[in-house]
């Protein structure tokens, strides 16, 4: 009998929280996806995403996208089978199991669990996929301290009108030194999966992964500080996991914290991920 706890949503055997503060090392640009339109001087104002109080935010959905794509690269380097989760490239579809899965959800939960376990990659299990919610939730990050800046850039957007006229875009960004909250909550995560998430966080911290827009201009570098790990419940989830017990709470600054959390990252490095089967 395979232990499916990692992908079960009907019980909580472990809850893991990782939270901290992100400090921008370079400008950050998370757009609203819509620009303010033309004004008579043909300057387009492109503002950063803010909450109702005018405070810049990084949505939880952006974090999920960043973690999934950064994780995909890490897994591919490890020669682990993984999908992109974009469009039709998701495991249940790639393995032609989506219909079987959908059918079994309503009348045979064990069968649905088995199909989902066998025919999805770590990213589908962790970040969710068609009709299955994620095992990790990212909260919206809110600026704790911030300054806004703006820069004139020549439009290279797909809105040909602006580009054709060589219009300037007034691009707003959040200045380096600004700080954001960060929090993710995991449900029933095995130790190697906690290690996987920490490995992705460390790659952001070490400057291998940028967040948001204008990456080629050097935007989107950030570092973690004031990190806190809170882990309640069982210390081993699933047959393929190894036990790591760091206690219920670990606190630390960026580099030091990642050093302390090495046992989890080693669990990920040494993990033999038994799915997807093929
Ligand atoms: Zn997948």
Ligand 1 (ion): residues with CB under 5 Å are 83, 91, 121, 124
- What is the CA(203)–ligand 1 centre distance, in A? 21
Q: What is the DSSP letter of 208?
A: S
Within 8 A by CB and 6+ apart from 148, the residues are 48, 56, 172, 173, 174, 175
Tell me the CA distances in angstroms from 135 to 3, 14, 65, 104, one per residue in order: 16, 11, 14, 21
Within 8 A by CB and 6+ apart from 235, the residues are 14, 191, 243, 244, 245
The 10s digit of each residue's pLDDT in 215-234 is 999 999 999 999 999 999 99
- What is the CA(253)–ligand 1 centre distance, in A? 33
- Helix (H, G, I), strand (E, B), or coil: what is residue 134? coil
Please check the confidence at residue 212 and state whether its pLDDT lies above 70: yes
42 pLDDT band (50/70/90 cuts)?
low
Please check the confidence at residue 161 and state whether its pLDDT lies above 80: no
- What is the CA(141)–ligand 1 centre distance, in A? 26
Q: Which residue has the higher pLDDT, 232 or 38?
A: 232
């Amino acid at each position: 009998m395979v232990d499916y706890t990692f992908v079960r949503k009907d019980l909580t055997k472990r809850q893991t929280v990782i939270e901290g503060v992100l400090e921008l090392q370079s400008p950050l640009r998370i757009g609203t996806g819509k620009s303010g339109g033309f004004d008579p001087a043909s300057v387009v104002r492109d503002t950063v995403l803010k909450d109702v109080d005018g405070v810049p935010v990084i949505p939880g959905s952006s974090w999920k996208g960043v973690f999934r794509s950064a994780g995909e690269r890490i897994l591919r380097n490890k020669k682990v089978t993984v999908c992109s989760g974009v469009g039709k490239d998701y495991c249940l579809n790639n393995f032609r199991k989506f219909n079987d899965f959908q059918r079994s959800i309503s009348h045979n939960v064990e069968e649905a669990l088995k199909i989902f376990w066998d025919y999805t990659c770590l990213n589908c299990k962790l970040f969710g996929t068609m009709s299955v919610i994620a095992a990790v939730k990212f909260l919206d990050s809110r600026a704790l301290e911030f300054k806004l800046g703006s820069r004139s850039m020549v439009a290279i957007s797909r809105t040909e009108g602006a580009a054709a006229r060589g219009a300037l875009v007034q691009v707003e960004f959040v200045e380096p030194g600004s700080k954001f909250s960060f929090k993710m909550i995991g449900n029933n995560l095995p130790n190697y999966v906690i290690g996987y998430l920490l490995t992705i966080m460390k790659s952001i911290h070490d400057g291998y992964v940028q967040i948001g827009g204008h990456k080629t201009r050097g935007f989107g570098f950030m570092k973690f500080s004031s990190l806190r790990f809170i882990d309640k419940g069982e210390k081993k989830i699933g047959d393929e996991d190894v036990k790591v017990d760091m206690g219920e709470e670990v606190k630390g600054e960026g580099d030091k914290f990642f050093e302390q959390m090495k046992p989890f990252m080693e669990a990920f490095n040494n993990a033999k991920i038994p799915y997807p089967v093929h």
